Amino acid sequence: QVQLMESGGGSVQRGGSLRLSCATSGNTYKYFCLGWFRQVPGKEREGVAVIHTGAQATDRDIRYADSVKGRFTVSRHNANNTVFLQMDSLKPEDTATYYCAAGRFLCTSPTGLMEFEYSYWGQGTQVTVSS
């Protein structure tokens, strides 16, 4: 099994920043794509970013949703199996519960930001951006 735990959520004002962390443990060999998703009550879960966690991965192995491109940055720290989502220039529409998820597929494929590609999910962390 793979365990994922998000942290770093909170409340900020428009234009502020937050850094989310996703700590992974367990059978980490079972995945090499780590994605960030967000969900607002009553809406479908939206893929935000995906990163390849392999040792040979480069910055070309990262994808972002258009809605966050240029504002969010995903990175990894392989030594402690942690992936980060740096969120800058936050907007009220970024308010959501943020989840990290792990999967085993071609990370940069067009489906990299779709839920069905991911087998393991964290419990989520709330991000609230006020105007």
User: DSSP letters along 14-65, please?
Assistant: TT--EEEEEEEEE-GGG--EEEEEEE-TTS--EEEEEEE-STT--GGGEEE-
Do residues 75 and 83 touch, judged by C-beta distance below 8 A?
Answer: yes
Q: Which of 70, 30, 72 is nearest to 49 (CA)?
A: 72
What's the mean pLDDT in 15-40? 92
pLDDT digits (tens, 9 = 90+) for 106-124: 888 888 899 999 999 999 9
Q: Which of 87, 65, 74 is nearest to 33 (CA)?
A: 74
Q: What percent of the chain has pLDDT over 90?
A: 73
What does pLDDT average to over the chain? Answer: 92
Judge whether residue 41 has pLDDT over 80: yes
Q: How far is CA 54 from CA 28, 51, 110, in A?
A: 11, 9, 19
User: If you count DSSP H runs as helices and E runs as strands, how many of each does the chain have, helices first?
Assistant: 0, 11
Do residues 52 and 112 touch, judged by C-beta distance below 8 A?
Answer: no
Predicted pLDDT at 11: 98
Predicted pLDDT at 33: 93
With bands split at pLDDT 50, 70 and 90, how would you rate the model's confidence at 79? confident
What's the mean pLDDT in 45-71? 89
What's the mean pLDDT in 16-26? 95
Rounded CA separation 95/103 (Å)? 25
